Amino acid sequence: MKSRFALGAIAMSAMFVLCRPSVAAVSSVGAPADEFALATEIRVTLDDTFQMKFSEKPVVKAGNIINFVVTNRGRIRHEFFIGDKAEQLKHKRKIRALRGTAENAQTSFSNAILLAPGQTKSLKWRFDNPGKVVIFACNMPGHYEAGEYYITVVEE
């Protein structure tokens, strides 16, 4: 009887692991920070010139938490996505596959915010893994290629 209960518990925990939302495995360069965590605030402006403008250049250190407050001043949608190069490519492919429905792609990534024209949203992020290349980018079709990204490295 006891072992049956144990088996049940194992099955339950296996199901929990399998059913966990994909947001758990976030990124090699960190993860979203707790909403109450103290953070440095950096404002980011996106617009249709495909320049990503920061109120100050993000100095990214392992363990540092930065709250990115992002505003879309353009007339088209933009996004702000934090990840390494492989994650950027994967996300870009996903957005392309979904074509116009980028909102759907965005909901499965906790390292992205999608902004309609005029919108401001924030993404609070704790950086991790010194030495890793971090890319901040917009992966709406053609935007990355037009230069809408910023690359830096996680410092010790």
Binding residues for Cu ion, rule: CB under 5 A, are 78, 138, 140, 143, 148
Q: Please state the closest distance from residue 71 (CB atom) to Cu ion, in A.
A: 13
Rounded CA gap, 128 and 125, in Å?
A: 10
Q: What's the half-sphere exposure (Cβ side, CA atoms, 13 Å) at 81?
A: 32
Other C-beta atoms lying within 10 Å of the C-beta of residue 124: 17
Q: Which is nearer to Cu ion, 34 or 145 (CB)?
A: 145
Q: Which is nearer to Cu ion, 13 or 104 (CB)?
A: 104
Q: Please state the closest distance from residue 52 (CB atom) to Cu ion, in A.
A: 9
CB-CB contact of 41 with 70 (8 Å): no
CB-CB contact of 25 with 87 (8 Å): no
Q: Please state the closest distance from residue 148 (CB atom) to Cu ion, in A.
A: 5
Q: Which is nearer to Cu ion, 64 or 74 (CB)?
A: 74
Q: Which is nearer to Cu ion, 77 or 132 (CB)?
A: 77
Per this entry, what is the length of the chain? 156
Residue nearest Cu ion, CB atom distance: 138
> What percent of the chain is helix, strand and coil (3-state, nearest 5)?
25, 35, 40
Q: Please state the closest distance from residue 41 (CB atom) to Cu ion, in A.
A: 22
Q: Which is nearer to Cu ion, 39 or 109 (CB)?
A: 109
- Structure tokens, 151: 């690359």
Q: Please state the closest distance from residue 133 (CB atom) to Cu ion, in A.
A: 20
